[in-house]
Amino acid sequence: MDLPRMPDLLPDLQSPLMLKSEEGQTMFEVIGERINSSRKKVQEAVTARDTEYIINDVIKQQEAGVTFIDVNAGARIGHETEDMKWLIDTIQPIAEVPLTLDSPDPAVLEMAIQMVESIPMVNSISLEKERFDAMMPFLEGKTCKIIALCMDDGGMPISSGDIIGRADSLVKELTGIGFAVGDIYIDPLVQPISTDTTKGVMVLDATRGIRAKYPEIHITGGLSNISFGLPQRKIINRTFVTLMMDAGMDSAIMDPLDDKIMSTIKTANMLLGNDQYCMEYLKGTRAGSIVS
């Protein structure tokens, strides 16, 4: 009896669903949301210029496998420029991954983007007129990745078609000023299931639609909105991310130090055929970061 050759057992590496890394494996890209001055401890550290706290946090995120470190200095009103500068100065020397520069202010972003060493991500543009008009001139000619929110002046999207239509507009505008589709991270905007039980299916359908239209695009977003207003939120968030990954989400803005959701993502990534020889999964189990 012939044993099956290993390559026959491999996942379909030609699948267009997600971008492959150089090794031919899909990366689920985790945008670490921890360095945000609206979080109490970060705000204290920023105010006190506590370099050690910030460095330790970033190192922990990197050890956990973060893909981008989001940096948001917006919470101390009137201090954003100096706080952003200090944060980047603090993080840059130890950063092993690119930064996500998180501000609505083009002037802050302009300063920040000059400071970073590897190609950053910018968080974010949307179709809200004021933000769109401010961000487009800044983005034109820049080399960066961009998070694009499916938000417009009408408010949150009301159907999967609405989300896809907004994604279409964002892709059209951003590719129009020279962005590659693969540098765009669409955020379809996850909405709470507690106030309307159709909101899960709505964003899942939209994610499938966007993925089918734009195989190279990234689809990201915060996950925890889904569980607003319900108890035991983390089980909802974890279950939701696996459904979203099947629909075509390949990135999330989240806390990489949440072991349980990180191990869920790695496991789902394997089950979706994106972990060659199950190596990342096995590595995780041996390191003790993936447990049943």
Q: Which is nearer to another protein, 14 or 197 (CB)?
A: 197
Tell whether residue 159 is a contact of another protein (CB under 8 A). no
Distance CA(250)–CA(217), nearest Å, equals 9
Q: For residues 227 and 197, is the Cβ–Cβ distance under 8 A?
A: no
- Cα–Cα distance measured from residue 127 to residue 150, given in angstroms and rounded to the nearest whole number: 7
Task: Residue 90: name the closest of 118, 124, 53, 121 by CA.
Answer: 53
Question: For 179, what's the count of Cα atoms within 13 Å in the CB-facing half-sphere?
Answer: 29
Cα-Cα end-to-end distance for the chain: 35
Q: Segment near another protein (CB under 8 A), from 81-89, 110-118, 162-170, 186-194?
A: 186-194
In the complex, minimum distance from the CB of residue 193 to another protein, in angstroms, rounded to a whole number: 9
* Euclidean distance between CA atoms 276 and 270, whole angstroms: 8
Residue 198: CB minimum distance to another protein, A: 13
Quote the least distance from Cβ 159 to another protein, whole Å: 16
Q: Is 104 in the site for another protein (CB under 8 A)?
A: yes
Considering beta carbons, is residue 188 or 284 the nearer one to another protein? Answer: 188
- Give residues 79-98 in contact with another protein (rule: CB under 8 A): none
| 106, 124, 138, 151 from 170: Cα distances, Å | 18, 11, 15, 10
Per CB under 8 A, 133 contacts another protein? no
Question: Of 75 and 181, which CB lies nearer to another protein in the complex structure?
Answer: 75
Interacting residue with another protein among 59, 230, 279, 282 (CB under 8 A): 230
Residues engaged in binding another protein (CB under 8 A): 38, 74-75, 77, 104, 128, 130, 151, 153, 155-156, 191-192, 194-195, 197, 228-231
